[in-house]
Structure 1
C-alpha cells in the first residue's frame, strides 16, 4: 500500500525538493496542518517565527535578494496576507523570488461573503495583483503540480514573487504520496545574431558609449566588465545595480560622476536595467542619443523602446555583443574616469553628516559584507556615496521606497548569509516600523548590527515642509524611546555613538560580538544636508 500524506506535508516536501531550507512566518488556525508538516520536516527546514507578518515577508525578501534563491514565508489568510503585502510589492518591483504560502476559509464557503474568520473577498485576486503568479490548491492531489508551476513561473525570465493558498480543510486532506514534479527555470531566449550585429554597428560608430546596469544583470558582472574594458566605456548603476561591477573597477563611474560624462554620451547600453536613472531622475538626454537594451523581459522593449533591443539573459547577450566587437579595443580612458569620480566625490563631500558616517561604516564593514539601506537621509546618500564591491551586497527595496523595510530585511539577509557581516542602516522613523523584530533576532540568534540614525523626525518630509511649504509642519516630528534602553530591554547589546569616529569604534566592536547589536546615532533634527541635488540633478545646459 502506498503511503499517505496531507496537503501540508506535500507542500513541505515540495519546498525541500526545491532547495528551500528556511521558512519565515507566524502559525495560525487555518495553517495548522501545514505548520505541523513544517515541524515534521525536522532539520530539513528551519522555521523562524516573527512578531509581525510584515517581518516574515521582509525577511523572506532579504533572503531572496541576497542569494538569488527562493525566500519563503507563511502567514494566515486575510489580515496576515495584507500585513505582508508591502513585502510582496517590494519583491515584485525588485524582481525577487519570494514565495508566500497562505490559507483560506473552508472550501465550500469561499466567495459567499459569510464573514468567516480571516475572510478576504477574492484573496487570490488580491495576491495576483502584487505577485508574478498566485495559485490555489483545491485538492491534495494538486499540491505538487501547483507548487511546481508556481516555482517555475517565479524563476523563469524576469523573476518575481509567487503565492500559493489552500483552503483550511484542504491542508489536512490526505492522499497518496507521489513523486512531486520540480519547477524549473525556462530556457533563456536564444540571442538573435541580427540584433547583436545591429548593436555592434551602432557601438562601432560611437565615440562615447556608456553602460548602465540594473538588477537584471546581477549575475553578469564579469561579462559586463569585459565589454566595458573592450570599449573603454564607463559602467554606472543606481541602487539595484550597485556592486555588479565593483566601485573600484577602473571603468566604474559613480552615478554622480556618470551624469557629468552623460553630456557627451552617444550610445547608452542598458543591461538588465529599466533605465529609470537616465529617463526619470536625470530627465535630460544628449542630442542624437542611441539606445541599446539587453533584457530578458520582452515587454521592456515596448515600455521603453530602444534603437536596438536584444531580448536575452544579461550574461548571454553581453557575451555575444563582446564577441561581435572583438578586436575593437579602444584607447585607455580609465584615467578620465578616475578624474570624474574624484571630482564627483569632492562635490558630494558637502552632504554631511551623512558622508562622514557612511565612510566610517564602509571602513569597518568587510569588503564582502552586506549593507541594507533604508528610506532615510543615510539611505538616500548611500545610493551614490557608499562604495559596493560585489553583486547583491547592497540590498535595496527598489522603486517601492517603502519606509521600514530595512531592519527586517537585514534579518533575512543574515539568515541566508550567516558567515557574512550584515549591517542595517535606518532612520528612527523607519526602524520603529519593525522594532518588534528585535525579539526575533534575539530568539533566533540573528547577528545583524542595526544602526539607527535618530533625528526625531521623518527627515525627508521635514525638509520638504520647511523648504517647499514654508515651515508648515504636519506629522514630521517624532517622539522616540531611548533606543539604547529599548534594545537592552529585548536583550540586545546596545550602544550610542555621537560622532563618525565613535561609530567606527563601536561598529568594529559590534561586528566582533556575533550577536544582535543596536547602535543609536543621535543627529540634530533638520541638520542633514540634502542629497537630492545629486539624485535629481539639474539638466545640463544645451
Structure 2
C-alpha cells in the first residue's frame, strides 16, 4: 500500500467512512487513495479550511463518534485553528490529518510552499495527541493510537501530519484494527463515600456538562432517586428532559446554589459555581470526570470519581439505596420555583417569542445549533431541550462565527433528523461561503439569520457599560435572501415569530438542500443579568 492507502484502510477499520476536506498539492496522493476507495468513503469538500474543520467538529458533537478532516499545512492548518481549539474545549473526537512539506526538508527553513516553523509544536498546543506518520507501515498503528487517544482520559481531538512525499510511498503494510480505550477501574471506596454523602444530603444538586451527554438515563435515575435538581448550561442541556420539573437552567441553579449541601458534578468543569458563585464549609462536592487532573483544578472535592460517567453513575445508583433517606416528591416545589423564574425571564420578550416559535416547529429529536447571538444566549437559559445531543453549543470558547459550518457537519452526520442553525448577521458571514458546500453536498440544514446590521452583543455592551460610546460594531450586510438564492439555496424572509414558524415548517419538510431564513430584528434586552451572576456563598 501507499501511505495514503494505508491511512484510508485504517480509518475504515475504525468505522470512519467520511472525510471533511479541502484538497491541495501536499495531500494529492491521499486524495488519490480516497478516490481509489470508491463508495466506501464519502469526501465532503468545503470552500475554506475552517469550513471542513467545523463540519468535522459538528459531526463529532452530534454523534460522539470520531470524525476526520484533512487540509494542507501552514495556512491550511492555521485556518482550521479555531475549530480545532473548539474541539479541544468541547472534548470532541476530531482527528486532523495535516499535510507537510517533504519529510527531509522539515525544520530546515528552505522556503517550501506552505512551510511553517515548528508546525508540530503548533499542533501539539491544540490537541492532546499528535504525531507524524513517517512511512506506510507505521500508518495503521499510528491511526489506531490517535483514535484511541481521543477516548482515553479526557476525550478530545488528535492530529497526524504526513509529508507530501510520504503519502505516495509504497511498502508492505500489516493492517490493524481499533485499540481499546483505557478506562480506569471504578474506585469502589470513592463510590461508597459518594453514596453516603448523597444519602444524607438534604438539598443535593446535579450539575451536568458535556461529559454527561451519554449518561442521560443514569442522571435521570439519580435525579429521581434523590429528588435532586439537574442543571445544564450550554454543553449540559438535554441530559435531563426539560419537561421534568427537576430540570433547571443557569438562573435557577444560581438562585438555589446557597441551599445546596451536596453537589454532584458530571462531566463539567464546575468553573462558574466554584470560582464565581462561591463555596463554604457546608458544601460537599462530588466530582465525576474523565480527566484525572480535572477534579482539583478549582478546589479539592470531597469525593473524586475518575472515568466514563455512565458506568460510574451506575455504580453510584447501585450503592445509594443502602444510604438514601426517604424523600418526598419535590414536584410542586420545583414547578413553583420554575414558574417564578420564568416570570423573571419574561424581560427577554423578543428572544422568548422567537424561541417559542422555534421550539414549536423543531421536533423533539431535532437538533438546535447555538451561536454567539442574542437568541443563542437566551436559548441557553430558556429553550426547552428534550434529548441529549440535541443542543449543540461551543462551550467556554464561545467564539463568534462557529455555528453555520458546524451545523452543516451536524446535519450531514444526522441526516435522519432536522437541524436548525441560528446565527446573527455578524457570525453568519464568517462561513457563509459554505452555502456552496451545502448545495454541492445536498445538506438539508435550515439556517435562520437574525439581522440587526451590527455585532449586536458588542454594541449592547458598549451602550450599557461604556456610556453609549459605540465603535466598530455597526455593519453593512448583503441582502441575505438574494445572497443565499444565488447559491441555489431555498430562501425566505420573515418579519415576526408567526411567519418564522411557517417558514421553519416549510424548511424542515423540504429535506432537499439548504434553506436560509432571514429575520430582521431590532435591539433586544440584555441577558447578562441572568448569566454573569454574583457570588452567593463564602
**The TM-score by the shorter chain falls in which range?**
over 0.9
Asked whether 1:25 is paired with 2:38, we answer no
8 A contact 1:265–1:286 mirrored in 2: no
Q: Secondary structure at the match of 1:292?
A: strand
Q: C-alpha deviations, 1:390-430, integer Å up to 9, x for none?
A: 11111111111111110101110111111100000000000
Match of 2:97 among 101, 124, 133: 101
Cα distance, 1:286 vs structure 2: 5.8
Query: Could you tell me whether the CA contact under 8 Å between 1:404 and 1:432 is conserved in 2?
Result: yes
Inter-partner Cα distance in structure 2 for 1:467 and 1:287: 37
By how many angstroms is 1:144 displaced?
1.2
Distance in 2 of aligned mates of 1:78 and 1:184: 33
Is 1:303 aligned to residue 336 of structure 2? no
Q: CA deviation at 1:290?
A: 1.2
Q: 2:475 is matched with which residue?
A: 478
Q: Which runs of 5+ in 1 are unaligned?
A: none
Residue 285 of structure 1 and its aligned partner are, at CA, apart by 3.5
Cα distance, 1:537 vs structure 2: 2.1
Q: Residues 447 and 517 of structure 1 are in contact (CA less than 8 Å); yes or no, is this contact kept in structure 2?
A: yes
CA-to-partner distance for each residue in 1:224-256, whole Å, 9 max, x for gaps? 111111111111111111101111123212322
Q: Report deviation, 1:352.
A: 2.7
Change (3 A) 1:505 1:179: same
Task: With the length of structure 2 as denominator, give the TM-score of the two structures.
Answer: 0.97
How far the C-alpha of 1:538 sits from its partner, in A, is 3.6
Contact 2:131/2:159 (CA < 8 Å) preserved in 1? yes
Q: Could you tell which deviates more after superposition, 177-186 or 235-244?
A: 177-186
Verify: 1:356 aligned to 2:341, yes or no: no
Contact 1:262/1:286 (<8 A) preserved: no
Greater Cα shift, 86-95 or 394-403: 394-403
Distance, in Å, in 2 between the alignment partners of 1:284 and 1:110 is 49
Q: Which moved more, 1:116-125 or 1:327-336?
A: 327-336
Aligned residue number for residue 438 of structure 2: 441
In 1: Cα distance, 2:163 partner to 2:117 partner: 14
2:109 equivalent in structure 1: 113
In 1, distance between residues paired with 2:38 and 2:173?
19
Match of residue 405 from structure 1:
402
Select which of 217, 234, 240 maps to 2:235. Answer: 240
Aligned: 1:511 with 2:493: no
Calculate the aligned-residue CA RMSD, in Å. 1.4
- Judge conservation of contact 1:254–1:341 (CA < 8 Å) in 2: no
Judge conservation of contact 1:238–1:277 (CA < 8 Å) in 2.
Answer: no
1:450 corresponds, among 447, 450, 457, to 447
Aligned-partner Cα distance in 2 for 1:424–1:51: 19
- Deviation digits for residues 462-510 of structure 1 (CA, Å, limit 9, x no counterpart): 0111122222222111100111111111111111111111101111111
1:51 to 37, 47, 51: 47
Contact 1:247/1:254 (8 A) holds in 2: no
**Counterparts of 1:188-267 in structure 2 under 5 Å?**
188-267=183-262
- The reply to whether residue 285 of structure 1 matches residue 279 of structure 2 is yes
Structure 1 residue 267 displacement after superposition:
0.9
Deviation of 1:273 (Å): 0.9
1:466 aligns with 2:460: no
Give, in angstroms, the shift of residue 181 of structure 1: 3.9
Is the counterpart of residue 42 in structure 1 residue 15 in structure 2?
no
Q: What secondary structure, in the 3-state scheme, does the structure 1 residue paired with 2:469 have?
A: coil
Could you tell me whether the CA contact under 8 Å between 2:241 and 2:385 is conserved in 1?
Answer: yes
SS of structure 2 residue aligned to 1:510: helix
Residue 65 of structure 1: aligned partner: 61
1:315-368 CA distances to partner (integer Å, 9 max, x unpaired)? 122122222211534111122112111211111121131111011001100000
Aligned twin of 1:521: 519
**Per-residue deviation, residues 426-480 of structure 1 (Å, max 9, x unmatched):** 0000000000000000011000001000011111110111122222222111100
Q: Take 2:254 and 2:82, find their aligned partners in 1: how far apart are those partners?
A: 32
- Kept in 1: contact 2:136–2:173 (CA 8 A): no
Structure 2 residue ranges without an equivalent (≥5): none
Distance 2:216 2:292 in 1: 21
